[in-house]
Amino acid sequence: MGQAHLFGRSTGGDIPVAVGGDGCYIIDSTGKRYFDGSGGAAVSCLGHSDATVAEAIKGQLDRIAFAHTGFFSSAPAGDLADLLIAHAPAGIDRVYLVSGGSEAVEAAIKLARQYFLEKGEPKRSRIIARRQSYHGNTLGALAAGGNEWRRAQFAPLLAETSHISPVYEYRGRQAGESAFDYGQRVANELETEIQRLGPENVMAFIAEPVVGATAGAVPPVEGYFKRIREICDAHGVLLILDEVMCGMGRTGTLFACEQEGVSPDIVTIAKGLGAGYQPIGAMLCSAAIYEAIASGSGFFQHGHTYMGHPLAAAAACAVLKRITRDGLLDNVLDKGAKLDARLNEVFGQHAHVGDIRGRGLFRGVEFVEDRETKKPFDPKRGVAKALKKAAFEAGLICYPMGGTIDGVNGDHVLLAPPFIIDDGQVDEVVDKLSLAVSKVLG
């Protein structure tokens, strides 16, 4: 038995076969060990051999693996909803369990639409999002996302969406402008776009609190999301925060938006929720949204076969308990600060490093041809791809992204190691990345 008939992420090309996991390491079939410095794409927050999560899955498997949610709920699904709401942003009251991030975003978009229908505002159907964003690969989520490269081929299939500027301080803040003023300026683009479309036509604004896949851990500036919240409230527009990548403790708080002092109407999570042990995501919404549907048609017209899957919910309960009860958020903050310090020490003066950014164990390094002018590398050089390859050879998994970032070609590497990382391993990540950078950029 081999790999010949598998249709994976890419067509053709040999990639190693993963056969084992040991803490923060993945082991391939030749015995080579790789430090999982990006948790896949910010998934594996507990590493690859967490016994408590494995036990929780096995325990549930001994009881029952699956019962269709059209007929039954399950104990782990109920427990997971309780656990999530106990830690959720203010006002968030209900949990809709799905199997991943794109599904969570699709559910959020459809819930927003149905909410306004139930409220008697049927014209509200328009979504506003940001250019520098990724919300998933299914058609609704892809339409919301602002990543041109991912959207281009499928453009004729995508719902019309408005995209405003992201918060991208490194490139967006003008000389002499304070970070706060910059944040207000770009947030106010939402106001302008709502006015242009007519508030009565706008359903929701969706954004990642800390941008992941398209930009490499780009945090907002202070006050940005508070202004966004004000604008949404002024026009009755729902605020959807997509925490599929940055949520579940990745930035040092269970929900990234806690650090902005803002509560959304809907928030989506996935990745770290199952920590890679099971595929699971969730869409959480406010009591007001839930009530509008419960007291209206009584039925959210949506659903998937595997939503609320008991094995996935059992795994997520165990993951959440590990994150919230075993001091792992403290370790995210502590090791995140160390990772930031080490990255700055090693790359802070590097001729081809333009920006080092992020929060907690969610860090991005942006590479440029000229750090003074911020001129990006020629995309033909494929710097991010080459860095990924060189790091992989050195035994480090990091998540690269090349291509256009808000209209500018750029290359960055995202680091999102497991929350169990120790001091020595932080050094290992930075040392291996440094080897890769020397190999590719000198």
Between 100 and 425, name the residue whose CB sits nearer to ligand PLP.
100
The 324-363 site mask, x for binding ligand PLP (CB under 6 A), equals: ----------------------------------------
Closest listed residue to residue 374, CA positions, set 357, 355, 361: 355
Helix axes 423-441, 328-347, angle to 10 degrees: 30
Q: In the bound complex, which residue of the shown chain has the CB atom lying closest to ligand PLP?
A: 101
Q: Is 432 in the site for ligand PLP (CB under 6 A)?
A: no
The 136-175 site mask, x for binding ligand PLP (CB under 6 A), equals: x---------------------------------------
Between 46 and 368, name the residue whose CB sits nearer to ligand PLP.
46
**Given 35, 134, 182, 300, the residue binding ligand PLP (CB under 6 A):** 134
The residues, ordered by sequence, that sit 6+ positions from 340 with a Cβ below 8 Å of its Cβ are 356, 358, 363
Question: Does residue 219 contact residue 226 with C-beta atoms inside 8 Å?
Answer: no
Distance between CA 211 and CA 218 in Å, rounded?
5
**Given 88, 143, 244, 319, the residue binding ligand PLP (CB under 6 A):** 244
Shortest Cβ distance from residue 251 to ligand PLP (Å)?
13
Q: Is 41 in the site for ligand PLP (CB under 6 A)?
A: yes
Q: Cα dist. 15→28, 213, 271, 392, 396 in Å?
A: 10, 21, 22, 11, 15
Q: Which stretch binds ligand PLP (CB under 6 A): 31-39, 99-107, 177-185, 422-430?
A: 99-107
Between 50 and 242, name the residue whose CB sits nearer to ligand PLP.
242
The residues, ordered by sequence, that sit 6+ positions from 236 with a Cβ below 8 Å of its Cβ are 121, 199
Q: Which stretch binds ligand PLP (CB under 6 A): 133-141, 229-237, 375-383, 422-430?
A: 133-141
Closest listed residue to residue 285, CA positions, set 165, 107, 66, 409: 107
Host H or E run for residue 357: strand 353-359
Question: Does residue 217 contact residue 364 with C-beta atoms inside 8 Å?
Answer: yes
The 204-223 site mask, x for binding ligand PLP (CB under 6 A), equals: ----x---xx----------
Q: Which stretch binds ligand PLP (CB under 6 A): 3-11, 241-249, 292-300, 416-424?
A: 241-249
Number of residues in contact with ligand PLP, rule: CB under 6 A? Answer: 15
Between 128 and 270, name the residue whose CB sits nearer to ligand PLP.
270
Distance between CA 302 and CA 308 in Å, rounded?
13
CA 109 to chain centre: 17
**Given 204, 245, 390, 401, the residue binding ligand PLP (CB under 6 A):** 245
Between 129 and 383, name the residue whose CB sits nearer to ligand PLP.
129
Q: Which long-range contacts (CB under 8 A, 24 or more apart) does 296-301 make?
A: 296/118, 296/119, 297/114, 297/118, 300/96, 300/110, 300/111, 300/114, 301/110, 301/114
Helix axes 179-197, 224-235, angle to 10 degrees: 20
**Given 37, 76, 89, 100, the residue binding ligand PLP (CB under 6 A):** 100
The 102-131 site mask, x for binding ligand PLP (CB under 6 A), equals: x--x--------------------------
Shortest Cβ distance from residue 282 to ligand PLP (Å)?
11
Question: Does residue 77 contact residue 97 with C-beta atoms inside 8 Å?
Answer: yes
Question: Does residue 132 contact residue 214 with C-beta atoms inside 8 Å?
Answer: yes
**Binding residues vs ligand PLP (CB under 6 A):** 41, 100-102, 105, 134-136, 208, 212-213, 242, 244-245, 270
